Amino acid sequence: MNLTGQHLGRYRIEKMLGKGGMAEVYLGWDVTLNRRVAIKVLPQAMRQNPILLKRFEREARAAANLGHPNIITIHDVGHTNGLPYIVMEYIKGLSLAEYLRQQGRLSPVETAKLV
């Protein structure tokens, strides 16, 4: 289910940035603080699984308690109409897949730098 155009609390969802096995990530706008954010939500099929829901919440708490220039900043965590979400800083850039398409095969040294 694409959430583009909807609101989660004070966040307006502008477009989907990507999705994987455990989450969907959207570009959003914080209407209170006037800034772009990334919003991570659990796919609908996973919202009813209490184990996955706890893992999602644990991820948000763990990331919020870390402070490092290479770790994304968590701004908010919430639930709206049964939809759990994590709001984090938005950093414009390439996905790993896009980067690899542009760069081609990486040397072991280049791979270690990325990791």
**Can you give the CATH number for the domain in which 43 is found?**
3.30.200.20
In this structure, are residues 57 and 41 in contact, taking their beta carbons and an 8 Å threshold? no
Q: What is the mean pLDDT of the segment spanning 16-27?
A: 90
Q: Is residue 46 a part of any domain in this protein? A: yes
Kindly report, residue by residue over 27-68, the tens digit of the pLDDT: 999 999 999 999 999 888 888 888 998 999 898 899 899 888
Q: Is residue 39 a part of any domain in this protein? A: yes
- Closest-CA residue to 114 (of 70, 59, 67, 66): 70
Which domain range does residue 78 map to?
A: 7-114
Find the farthest-apart pair of alpha carbons in the chain and give their distance in angstroms, rounded: 47
pTM equals: 0.84
Give the total number of structural domains in the chain: 1
What pLDDT, on the 0 to 100 scale, is given for residue 101? 93
What pLDDT, on the 0 to 100 scale, is given for residue 16? 94
Q: Is residue 2 a part of any domain in this protein? A: no
Q: Is residue 99 a part of any domain in this protein? A: yes
